[in-house]
Amino acid sequence: MKLVAVVRAPEHPEDAAAAVATATGMTLAEARMRLAPEPPALLARLPPDQADALATALTRSGVSALAVEASVPTDSDRTLAAKLGMTGTAVTFTPVGGDPLVVPWTEVLAILRGTRTSRLEVERTQKTRSLSVGVALATGGLRVTRQTEKTFRSSEESPEQVILVYARDGGAALISERQLDISCLGPGLHPSSAANMAEVARLLREKARGAFHDERLLRLGRRPLPFVLGSEGRATSGATTVTRTDSRASLDVLAEVLRQAVVAGLLP
């Protein structure tokens, strides 16, 4: 399967909606709704031939769109940086184990800053019985209690800021606020991890001037996306339902869409 994505807002929204409706069989209203979110945005999940045809139809109508494989690179395909080294000519990403990735500044293709979020929601239903004069009178004393039901909800969200760095030869590294030894910042060290990640992004942007820089995934990477599998799981035990959502897969998809868009010349 492939995912069809729009990487720029259409200059002519009605023409774009008509192209989507024609290629997919959607109504115009549904096509407009699919095109409404801020790009990069996913339009559909289709078999490869249909996805390529839709991307081609959108391109012909003046929309910057492309089709990507639904199975995109994840953390297992990247160098997860525990340490970061910057010189005048290159950046070095050193993982906890394995070989470091060294990328000359002139070979950095794209730097994407984003946030991925995991969320845990617990819903518990509690049934209680209490004495009720009204029930006793209505049933002639056969029942003297009334059952009530209350639902209690709680949630916990855990955001993680990341920076994805792509090399022109296909190499990729991920910098996570949870894993990076931020002592590399030296005097630029800040009290908060979010500020430290912003400082790392600034340094990378300053040194890799020829790379594409984007921070939209700070907003767009926080929520699970339609058409992306594995973003939500739900388990019920008795009166308790636990729902886990994770935007990690969604951020991976959007990041790959942006990377391929840069390679294809659709961005910047």
Asked if CATH classification 3.30.1390.10 holds for the domain at 2-69, the reply, yes or no, is yes
Query: pLDDT at position 150, please?
Result: 85
- H, E, C per residue of the chain: CEEEEECCCCCCHHHHHHHHHHHHCCCHHHHHHHHCCCCCEEEEEECHHHHHHHHHHHHHCCCCEEEEECCCCCHHHCEEECEEEECCCEEEEECCCCCCEEEEHHHEEEEEEEEEEEEEEEEEEEEEEEECHHHHHHCCCCCCEEEEEEEEEEEEEEEEEEEEEEECCCCEEEEECCCCCHHHHHHHCCCCHHHHHHHHHHHHHHHCCCCEEECCHHHHCCCCCCCCCCCEEEEEECCEEEEEEECHHHHHHHHHHHHHHHHCCCCC
Output the pLDDT for position 92: 98
Q: Is the pLDDT of residue 94 over 80?
A: yes
More confident: 221 or 22: 221
Predicted local confidence at residue 137, as pLDDT? 65
Min mean pLDDT across 55-59, 78-82, 165-169, 253-257 is at 55-59
Residue 135 has pLDDT above 70, yes or no: no
- Where are the domains positioned within the chain? 2-69, 75-120+155-246
Q: Domain 75-120+155-246: give its CATH code.
A: 2.30.29
